Structure 1
């Protein structure tokens, strides 16, 4: 096979993979957002955004400020890891 044909074949094979990156990242962003906020919900955070309220509600919430939510060292580490992944995917924070 000639080089132009190989290059065209490689590009043709790569295009579906490249176009799939955006939906996968969006799906991952949604999952990461949910995981991160699930930690806060379990510890009593009162969500302010419609997205957060729709996903988790505010029943039984105790903390209006995220900084006041009592997270364990392990939970803080996990939140930081999730936020790093969100930044890597380019997710809105």
Structure 2
């Protein structure tokens, strides 16, 4: 019985998006060249939201909430690179 529960828990954790390695998450990310302005905005701000950014615009608060927490939107590594890429495409598309 304990083995079955363990297997179910392991399977659930393996399927959890929070458990995906950063490189795997980035590999699964859509190509920004084919994203709309709205999709670019959402993808960029989703990264900030999971890093505790304190949103100020009504639109962002409506989508992601008012909750902020450390590191308060400070990004590093692949997340910073992805946000930079998304912002470049937003500018290129005139978003």
Alignment gaps of 5+ in structure 1: 1-26
| Over 6 Å off, 4+ runs | none
**TM-score (norm: length of structure 2):** 0.58
Alignment partner, residue 87 of structure 2:
83
Q: Does 1:58 align with 2:58?
A: no
Alignment partner, residue 21 of structure 1:
none
Deviation of 1:69 after TM superposition, in Å, equals 2.5
State how 1:22-61 maps to structure 2 within 5 Å.
28-59=36-67, 61=68
The structure with the greater share of residues assigned to helix is: 1
The total of aligned residue pairs comes to: 61
**Rg larger for:** 1
Alignment gaps of 5+ in structure 2: 1-34
Alignment partner, residue 71 of structure 1:
75
